[in-house]
Chain A
Amino acid sequence: MSLILNNIGRKVSRNWIIRNLNLRVENGQCLALLGPSGCGKSTTLRLIAGLDKPSEGSIILNDKDITSISPVDRKVGMVFQSYALFPHLSIAENLLLGLKIRGINLPEQQRRVSNILSLMQLEGYANRKPSDLSGGQRQRVALARALLREPMIYLLDEPMSNLDAQLREELRTELRRLILNKDKPVVYVTHDQHEAMAMANRIAVLRNGELEQIGSPEDLYHKPSSLFVATFIGRPQINQLTNENKIIKAIRPENIYLDDSGLECKLIYREWLGNNQLWLLNSPKGNLRMLCDASLSVPERIQISWSKNHEHLFNKYDGKRIY
């Protein structure tokens, strides 16, 4: 039981928004689609939901080809970035509408809605309008609506991008409790690499409508297949050293350490991050970010070094990984 995208492509007028996409998400797995805006990640989600039709390829859910099935019959639970709550209906009405349309009897409707409201800790809000709720509460209502659909698959489109940092932390816990590890495939679209690594078992990095790399968060972090993935994943961003020949060397800020026999640098600025600190250094090889312990004080002469093992080498022309 799983979701499979087979060579999916979508063309709008003459442009391919997404092309040659092959993905597989097992039940209980969370796949994050990660990439900058315009990379095709939301389009992919819409194709899975059935809101758009693919120009080529097929979508298989639980061994059934759903490529040409209507969105309703796919039984997807989708959460929109904008929440997409119906502003003229109360929270309860928002949740009841779908049940009513699906012909569930009245007492059962009431029972399910009050259950889900208490699950979401929204009991007191049944008669409020969405505009009376905070962003986090609205997002929980949107989540509740998706859960009520009893979907075969969950699709989350940037579910937290409109929330502040603290609410995101809270909602992550909520998402884990309610959706992840529920024996259903989850596809999670985000442009936030941090969120992707925190939530997903596997991450697919998309770029200009094509799959750049797919793998576990650890794979992507330690073995990025291209310079694009290397710069997209990991904060502070990976350092690119002035290139030698046709090769770009890259080194992560946390792999750099002080070394008396190393490269001599000048400190440009220092950023204190709480549990560690970030130094921006001017070195003969260009500006470098270095992540080090918060207690470390700046020595008189800064000399740095790193292990050859931690270097990532990329082809200068196509950005692909060499080693």
Chain B
Amino acid sequence: MNKINPWFVAICIWSLAPLLWQLYTSFSTSEALTMPLSEVEKRWTFDNYIQILNAEPPFWRYLINSTILSLSTTIITLILSIPAAYSITKLPTFIANNFKRVLLSAALFPYVLLFLALLEVARKLNIGNNLLALSIPYSALSIPLAVLLISSAFNDLPDGLDEAARLEGLNLFQRFRYILVPLIRPAVASTSILVFIFSWNEYPIALTWLSKENVLTLPVAIARIAGSSVYSVPYGAYAAATVLGSIPLLIVVMIFQKQIVSGLTKGAIKG
């Protein structure tokens, strides 16, 4: 194990290089990005960060928007998916399999095709420019995959646990609370990450639903960052926004990753 595996290094470079490049760009002046380095007087700068944080509204506003939206989407998705997944495991195999097929096709459907129709819905119901309302389509799009992931976790639970809990006198809610959800925590954690990242990154629906400055989500806000003139592209500011926008995501992944790993190593599933 002392020898460093070259493949490991290659994979690290492959996956980290874009992030490091982004970080590098965010601290570079625009001259450093567009001109030969020998002619650049000032190479490093915080201007990109200062620019986006001093914009009106300031950048952290969008971070908060995206966090609220992603959290509410994740919570709604979990609240609806966990009982649905549980009930699928209680169905006769034939019906359950067909249900899963339908869910899989829904999960695989290219959702971009839906955004015009969704815009129409938003207009009819008058919920455009409402940040939390956006978590309705986000949850709807996340639920099929979430149900599939969580129901397979329920299926992997050893036989008899649910029934033993029933005999102990636990009602359905108590079984979820004390037995079932704690046991499928790894699956819940990984599902949460997927849903959170999806809502964090989602662009087309957010772009069409939101137009007021102060309710925008990160991806939409980043796309709106303007350069000093119409002809210049603010690479540095984009990069700075991306770096700031990735930090909450990294934190979320780190929190849940610990849970997933501990769930796997402790043998929480196998008794």
Interface bits B164-198 vs A (CB < 8 Å: 1, else 0): 11111110001000110011000000000000000
Q: Name the interface residues of B231-271: CB closer than 8 Å to any CB of A.
A: 267-271
Contact B92 A13 (CB under 8 A): yes
- Residues in chain B near residue A131, CB distance under 8 A: 267, 270-271
Q: Which residues of A contact B179 (CB under 8 A)?
A: 86
**At the interface, yes or no: B79 with Cβ under 8 Å from chain A?**
no
- For residue A192, give the distance in angstroms from its CB to the closest CB of chain B: 20
Candidate in B92, B169, B174, B178 with the most chain A CB atoms within 10 angstroms: B169
Query: Are B167 and A76 within 8 A (Cβ)?
Result: yes
Contact B160 A84 (CB under 8 A): yes
Q: Which of A57-65, A94-102, A262-270 touches B? A: A94-102
From A81, A88, A130, A145, B168 is in contact (CB under 8 Å) with A145
- Check: A85 CB closer than 8 A to any chain B CB: yes
Taken residue by residue from 262 to 300, chain A's Cβ proximity to chain B (1 for < 8 Å, 0 otherwise) reads as 000000000000000000000000000000000000000
Given the complex, which residues of A lie within 8 Å of B168, measured CB to CB?
72, 97-98, 101, 145, 149
Minimal Cβ-Cβ distance residue in B for A46: B163
Smallest beta-carbon distance A140→chain B, Å: 15
Within the complex, the shortest CB–CB distance from A256 to chain B, in Å, comes to: 44
Interface residues in A, total, Cβ within 8 A: 25
The reply to whether B92 and A87 form a contact with Cβ atoms under 8 Å apart is no
Given contacts A80-B164, A97-B178, contact A87 B270 (CB under 8 A): yes
Contact B183 A78 (CB under 8 A): no
**Does B161 count as interface, using CB distance less than 8 angstroms?**
yes
* Inter-subunit contact A101/B174 (CB<8 Å): yes
26 A-B residue pairings within 8 Å (CB atoms): A49-B163, A51-B167, A71-B166, A72-B166, A81-B160, A82-B271, A84-B158, A84-B161, A85-B271, A86-B161, A86-B179, A86-B183, A87-B183, A87-B267, A87-B268, A87-B271, A88-B268, A97-B178, A98-B168, A101-B169, A101-B170, A130-B271, A131-B267, A131-B270, A145-B164, A149-B167
Question: Top 6 closest A-B pairs, CB basis?
Answer: A84-B160, A98-B168, A84-B164, A80-B160, A72-B169, A87-B271
